[in-house]
A and B are shown apart, each in its own frame.
Chain A
Amino acid sequence: MRPVLTPVFLGSLSRRRLTTAFSLIAVVLGVALGMAVQAVHTAALSEFSRGVRTVAGEADLRIVGPRNGFDETVYPLVAALPEVAAASPVVEVTTRVAGQEQALQIAGVDLFAAAGITPALLARPSAGSDRLSVLGEDRIFLSDAARVQLGAPPGSELSLRAGIHLVRVVVGGDIPAAAENSRLAIMDIAAVQRQFDRLTRLTRIDVRATNGVSLETAKRAVQAVLPTGVIVETPEVAENQAALLSRAYRVNLTMLAAMALLTGSFLVFSAQALSVVRRRSEFAFLRAIGLSRQRLLVWLLGEGAAIGLVGGVLGVALGYAVAWALLELFGGDLGAGYFAGLRPRLEFTPIASLTYGTLGILAGIAGAWWPAREAATVPPAQALKAGDDASIPVGHGHPRVGLVLLAVGIIACWLPPLGDLPVGGYAAIACLLGGGVLLLPVFAAALARRLPNALSVPARLAKARLEAVPGHAVIAAAGVLTSVALSVAMAIMVASFRDSVDAWLHQLLPADLYVRAGAVETGTTLDGETQARIASTPGVGTVSFTRHESLRLSPEHPPAALIARPLSMDGRELPVVDRAPPESDPSAVPIWISEAMKDLYGWRPGQRVELPIAGHAAPVRVAGVWRDYARQTGAVMINLTDYRRLSDDRLANDAAITLAPGHGAADVAARVAATAAPGTLQIAYPGEIRATSLRIFDRTFAVTYLLEAAAVAIGLAGVAASFAALAAARRKEFGMLRHLGVTRSQIAWMLAQEGALAAGAGVLGGLAVGGATGLVLIEVVNRQSFHWSMDLHVPWVSLTVFAGVLIALAALGAVVAGRAAMRQEAVLAVREDW
């Protein structure tokens, strides 16, 4: 390839700055969004892994159980195994400093056991303190970050929440190896067991295998002595589980970014298609003087690649900037709550950066491909002779291919998930979009034909144009269709989701007041005495207590939630979506599983399964399936009475209170609060809980909205870019029309209506494809990624407004883009013929 041709080809990009800029922006946005999602996630995950690794230290294995831990007698059994060189028992509690929001994760460790396995969990007494203070029952050791955040220098006193009590501790020093973990605190294991009411309980045992014993052997030996529901895993599993947990969310975001990139590709396509048409005689001349077909093709692809390269580089840079901003604003999970509390640091990842940069180039090349091939295949003689804009391709698209794609898309919806990812769903969405774009010309022409004939001249001209050459509409509207489809799909999905979550919250929160001892994850509880006091408080009608546990059913899956609360035999308190036929055996303990349990563990209504409760395998029967939006990793509901019989655990985490007639909620709330030490019982009204939940929900989707807005902006830019290119190509047409007595405003109107029509076709197509995609998101993608179903809810009003605004904006964009072609000088565009 002779670089001497560079000005001929790449120079053409600089001659059409506006269209080039639009294409570039689209590619930049697409790459940037993908890069940002990737960078944020990498940062969050590596921070999470760092946390896991720091805490895991030299441990080869770790033993974990349900949320409330397992019996400490497991420890001597494990430690005595010849396969185990050292074992470090840990009891962890999450609590809060009284009067502060910041959660504190206290690891109760045996420092002598931890020293050889998890050096990060070693506390250091502050200078001048008692040598045995690391063992002190009232001593807490804070990471530097936690000390700063809590404003608690060594020697100061802290009041920690422990159930409904307060525990006073003295800051005894720091944790040198985990200075940056702002949530970590260390106490002696015995102190935690006693002070936080965790006697006889452990939550974790870190294990170092004996030298020369394979990890697998050690793992088998350890697992053999563990009770049901307590499992041994490698520390990496925790990382993997975290990665898995957020993977679906991450993939969904990346798909949005891919859509943006695809839209960018369409823009490159439209710009190149039009540019190539305009330069047809130029290419014919070059071919005539000896430029080979391949070289022409390569040069034209090079134009697309150049846009892609610049867009890729800028996109990667912008991506990191966006990632930085997102991390600052939302944290590592983009507000979704998977990595709450982590403070991830942005890292430059060369491979990902290169990948996304390359994706930008590929998008540019892909966009340039079809126009380049068109240009290269035109016989030069014919092109030389025609030498005019009469040769703009008509393009009715490939409706048959489009129909095939739609059919394939529908079939793909029935594919099972691949590696927990809804691959079929994504394939279906891709097929729907591709099919939609391919059918767009036919659809646009049909749309134009349906318009009334008695129209003004501009409208008539616009209609005639769309009807006759819908190929142009595709060029302008493909990006609109893609972005609208994407936005509409997300809008429908989010609206359905939000609506369903709201309904779900209403059903799950029927009581008048909710009482709890602390955040659920802190495991702080209401003991029997407190339960009795709450129940007998004047004004309390009925009260039902809930106990939260978790279940370790397999090392591959993160723990599933176990929720024990009063339940009717028919589960009418739950949003049941499927139920087993009535059971004749009255002794069968019924449980209600969430949809995720069904998907992850393959449990079915009517099936008899075993639940590891309190170290024993309890036989139960799946009475039905309920919908749960709170726990992606699965949840099991069991009647509180059954749970207490099986576990002998009388504690409760929270209470739902229905008021006795004639009592005000506020009065009763005050009286209930007074049954325990001030500030220990948190009392919430269902309305507040719903509002908080929906606020979290909305925040989760904040980023999604951002991406949608970007996609739509790109789509609109596409309309403007296409019309800018088309308008330039149509200068002679406008000139002729002016000769014939068409006023400038009439031409503007014509362009506006052409823009509106093209965008209208795109928007209508986008609504159709988006509606279908929304269904795929709800029925396939969410079902397979997050294991929950939802009821369809289409936000008609918002969609209508959205479509209207888009069409208006597209019309405006067309006019603005065509303005250059309507200047006085342009009227003389035909002058070269005189």
Chain B
Amino acid sequence: MNRRAFLLAMLGSQGLMRSALAEESRAAQRGSKGAGNGDSVAFAPVVPGRRLVFPDDYGAHPDFRTEWWYVTGWLRLPDGTSIGFQSTFFRVRTGIGEDNPSAFAPRQLILAHAAIADPRLGRLRHDERIARAAFDRAGFTRGRTHVWIGDWVFEQTGDGYHVLIPRSESGGFAYELQFSTPDAPLLNGTGGFSAKAPDPRHASYYYSRPQLKVAGTVTLDGRALPVTGLAWLDHEWSSELLPSEAQGWDWTGINFDDGGALMAFRLRRQDGGPLWHAGTLRNGNQRNSDIHILMNNDLTLTPTREWASSRTGIRYPVQWQVRAGARTFDLAPLFDDQELDSRRSTGNVYWEGAVRAQETGRTVGKGYLELTGYDRRIWIG
């Protein structure tokens, strides 16, 4: 869900982005005024009770302000090594140039981020792209998942997905992965209506596709390797996501070895205290039959170990204990340094990495953990 950190950083790629959350919130309260030319743009609201309809809701929702398709997971190399990967595609409606007949009008932006977490390297390989949706150089499709920037593509195919990152200008990696699942989408929150704050205005439409089987090829430093693995997909869209008092968030998505799945997040206040908890727990492999929607009291996320980045000096809580209803999990990173330092290009720093989940001392699943808002430079002020 909360890949928003990345999104905002990309938009602030000219280095002066500030207090984006608060600012966006203010913009929302002003009545969603577009930047610059002041023409009023009505972003579609997220309302409770709307039923998600598939396949339509696999596709893009350009009337909303922001939307992303996000897939993370664990891959196994031929030699048995486990690596993590991440592909995220964002769509942003800027509210600018809505009536501009120019083909370049920046009404919709597409952003993408690809990363590989390789424990042998000990840090992330990553690359990112941003473009306005124009001339089919970058764009999105309604009715099915299909979003792209140049030759980077995130696309729905048959009963699965296809992600193609055929080249990276800076990351030194490439991958092409095919995802499949027999399961229907896992709706988070109330039938896909995911609240982010007590005020119902701050919410999103949000579904996940856990337990995605992965097959494909990863190219590292020019060497193409066949891989298999397990992944997690999120698709979320909203117009007014976060309350102004939110400082950052911590999110995780875990595929359990028994076919179950856990999605959990918390929003933090500026003082670090929790603002909002929510999650979804699917027990066993009974095809979405044993699903628990977790709200504030059912869920706690507690940091248990911190790691300090030697590059940025930022301290991230990389190890966690998650209490989800009756079950308690310990999350431990694949390796500590999964900090995504894109200050050179986007000016933002956060942590996004592969984690193992243990329950009563036994590894029960693998997934991803996202920690945002720990970079004071960006998130405070």
A and B touch in the complex (CB under 8 A): yes
Residue numbers in A under 8 Å from B34 (CB-CB):
132
Contact A131 B23 (CB under 8 A): yes
B97 close to A191 (CB less than 8 A): yes
Which of A121-129, A444-452, A740-748 touches B? Answer: A121-129
Instruction: Please state if A113 and B35 are interface contacts (CB–CB under 8 Å).
Output: no
- The 8 Å CB contact of B14, one of A89, A134, A136, is A134
- Contact: B104 with A110, CB < 8 Å? yes
Total residues of chain B contacting the partner, CB 8 A: 38
A193 adjacent to B37 (CB under 8 Å): no
Q: List chain B residues, Cβ under 8 A from A124.
A: 14-16
Contacts of A139 in B (CB 8 A): 36
Interchain CB contact under 8 A, B104 and A85: no
B71-95 contact mask (Cβ, 8 Å, vs A): 1 or 0: 0000000000000000000000011
Number of A-B contacts (CB under 8 A): 111
Contact A137 B103 (CB under 8 A): no
* Chain A residues positioned under 8 Å from B130 (CB to CB): 112, 115
In angstroms, Cα B14 to Cα A137, docked, is 17
Q: How far is the CA of A493 from the CA of B18 in the complex (A)?
A: 65
Report B185 CB to chain A, min CB distance, Å: 31
B104 to chain A, nearest CB (A): 4
Chain B residues whose CB sits within 8 angstroms of the CB of A133 once the complex forms: 35-36
Interface-centre pick from A89, A116, A134 (highest chain B CB count, 10 A): A134
The reply to whether B135 and A76 form a contact with Cβ atoms under 8 Å apart is yes
Q: Which of B14, B20, B137 contacts A76 (CB 8 A)?
A: B137
Minimum C-beta distance from A279 to chain B (A): 75
| Distance of A85 Cα from B127 Cα, bound (Å) | 15
- Residue in B11, B96, B137 whose Cβ sees the most chain A Cβ within 10 Å: B96
Tell me the bound Cα distance from A115 to B169 in angstroms: 13
Interface pair A136/B96, CB less than 8 Å apart: yes
Q: Determine the residue in chain A with the shortest Cβ distance to B10.
A: A112
Closest chain B CB from A378 CB (angstroms): 79
Given A124-B16, A131-B20, A116:B135 Cβ within 8 A: no
Tell me how far the C-beta of B76 lies from the nearest C-beta in chain A, rounded to whole angstroms. 30
By beta carbon, the residue of chain A nearest B38 is A138
Q: Are B106 and A188 in contact (CB under 8 A)?
A: yes
Q: Is B132 an interface residue (CB 8 A)?
A: yes
Once bound together, how far apart are the Cα atoms of A130 and B95, in whole Å?
12
Q: Does A190 contact B (CB under 8 A)?
A: yes
Which residues of B sit under 8 angstroms from A200, Cβ to Cβ?
A: 103
Residues of B within 8 A of A126 (CB): 16
| A131-B35 CB under 8 A given contacts A115-B13, A124-B16 | yes
User: For the complex, what is the distance from the CA of A255 to the CA of B23, rounded to whole Å?
Assistant: 65
Known: A188-B106, A190-B102, A193-B102. A137 touches B96 (CB 8 A): yes
Flag whether B131 is at the interface (Cβ < 8 A).
yes
Question: A199: CB under 8 A from chain B?
Answer: yes
Measured in the bound complex, the distance between the Cα atoms of B13 and A131 in whole Å is: 9
Q: Is the CB of B11 within 8 A of A131?
A: yes
> Which residues of chain A are within 8 angstroms of B105 by Cβ–Cβ distance?
190, 194
- Contact with A135, one of B12, B17, B96, B137 (Cβ below 8 angstroms): B96
User: Do residues B36 and A190 form an inter-chain contact, with CB atoms below 8 A?
Assistant: no
| Cβ distance A447 to chain B, nearest Cβ, rounded Å | 77
- A89 surroundings in chain B (CB, below 8 A): 104
List B contacts of A193 (CB < 8 A): 100, 102, 104
Which A residues, 436 to 476, have Cβ-Cβ distances below 8 Å to chain B?
none
**Which listed residue, B15, B96, B100, B101, touches A132 by the CB 8 Å rule?**
B96
Cross-chain contact of B37 among A72, A85, A128, A136 (Cβ < 8 A): A136
Contacts of B20 in A (CB 8 A): 131
- Judge whether B17 and A131 touch: CB under 8 Å: yes
Chain B residues in 8 Å Cβ range of A256: none
Interface positions, chain A 97-149, Cβ under 8 Å from B, are 110-113, 115-116, 122-139
Q: Across the interface, do A110 and B100 meet the contact criterion of CB distance under 8 Å?
A: no
* B16 close to A127 (CB less than 8 A): yes
- Per the bound structure, the CA–CA distance linking A720 and B127 in Å amounts to 77
- Say if the beta carbon of A403 comes within 8 Å of chain B: no
**Is A75 an interface residue when CB atoms closer than 8 A count as contact?**
yes
Task: Take A72-B103, A110-B104, A110-B132 as given contacts and tell me if A135 and B97 are in contact as well, using a CB distance cutoff of 8 Å.
Answer: yes
Given A110-B104, A131-B20, A190-B104: A138 touches B131 (CB 8 Å cut-off): no
The reply on B159 being an interface residue by CB < 8 A is: no
Q: Is A33 an interface residue (CB 8 A)?
A: no
Does residue A245 face the partner (Cβ distance < 8 Å to B)? no
B136 interfacial contact with A, CB 8 Å: yes
Contact partner, B100, options A112, A130, A190, Cβ 8 Å: A190
> Chain B contacts of A85 at CB under 8 A?
169
* Beta-carbon contact of B169 and A125 below 8 Å: no
Return the chain B residue nearest A89 by Cβ: B104
A560 lies within 8 A of chain B by Cβ: no
Please determine whether A135 and B36 come into contact, CB atoms closer than 8 angstroms.
Answer: yes
Whether B102 pairs with A125 at a CB distance below 8 angstroms is: no
- Residues in B neighbouring A125, C-beta threshold 8 A: 14, 16
> Are B100 and A138 within 8 A (Cβ)?
no
Instruction: Report chain A residues within 8 Å CB of B106.
Output: 135, 188, 190
> A692 CA to B15 CA in the complex, in Å?
47
Q: How far is the CA of A115 from the CA of B111 in the complex (A)?
A: 14
Given contacts A132-B11, A133-B35, A199-B102, contact A112 B131 (CB under 8 A): yes
> Chain A residues with Cβ under 8 A from B16's Cβ?
124-127, 129, 131, 173
Give the residue among A76, A137, A139 with the most B Cβ atoms within 10 A: A137
**A301 contacts partner chain B, Cβ-Cβ < 8 Å:** no
Question: Measured between C-beta atoms, what is the minimum distance from A92 to chain B in Å?
Answer: 14
- Does A59 sit at the interface, judged by CB under 8 A? no
Nearest Cβ on chain B to A598's Cβ, whole angstroms: 40
Per-residue interface assignment for chain B, residues 1 to 25, with 1 indicating a CB less than 8 Å from any chain A CB and 0 otherwise: 0000000100111111110100100
A76 pairs with B136, CB closer than 8 A:
yes
Q: Is the CB of B36 within 8 A of A138?
A: yes
A137: nearest residue on chain B (CB-CB)?
B37
Expressed in whole angstroms, the minimum distance between the Cβ of B358 and any Cβ of chain A is 40
On whether the beta carbons of A130 and B103 are closer than 8 Å, the reply is no
- Select from chain A the residue with minimum beta-carbon distance to B12: A131
Contact pattern, A 134-177, Cβ under 8 Å of B = 1, otherwise 0: 11111100000000000000000000000000000000110000
In the assembled complex, A79 has its CB within 8 A of some CB on chain B = yes
Q: How far is the CA of A133 from the CA of B27 in the complex (A)?
A: 13
Q: Are A111 and B14 in contact (CB under 8 A)?
A: yes
* Chain A residue with Cβ nearest B106: A135
Task: Verify A194–B102 contact, CB threshold 8 A.
Answer: yes
Question: Is B102's CB under 8 angstroms from A132's CB?
Answer: no
B41–chain A nearest beta-carbon distance, Å = 11
A194 touches B101 (CB 8 A): yes
A257 to B343, CA, bound (A): 55
Chain B's nearest CB lies how many Å from the CB of A261? Answer: 54
Fill in one digit per residue for B156-180: 1 if any A CB lies within 8 Å of its CB, else 0: 0000000000000100000000000
Measured CB to CB, the closest approach of chain B to A138, in angstroms, equals: 5
Task: Answer whether residue A189 sits at the interface, using C-beta atoms and an 8 A cutoff.
Answer: yes
Complex CA distance for A188 and B132, rounded to whole angstroms: 11
Q: Is B35 a contact of A136 with CB atoms below 8 Å?
A: yes
- Which residues of B sit under 8 angstroms from A129, Cβ to Cβ? 16
A–B Cβ pairs within 8 angstroms, 11 of them: A75-B135, A85-B169, A115-B130, A116-B169, A132-B36, A132-B94, A137-B37, A188-B104, A190-B102, A190-B105, A194-B102
8 more A-B residue pairs beyond the given contacts A115-B345, A131-B35, A137-B37, with a C-beta to C-beta distance below 8 A: A89-B104, A131-B12, A132-B11, A133-B35, A135-B97, A172-B36, A188-B106, A193-B102
Measured CB to CB, the residues of A under 8 A from B are 72-73, 75-76, 79-80, 85-86, 89, 110-113, 115-116, 122-139, 172-173, 188-191, 193-194, 199-200
Which 4 residue pairs spanning A and B have beta carbons closest together?
A136-B36, A132-B35, A190-B102, A190-B104
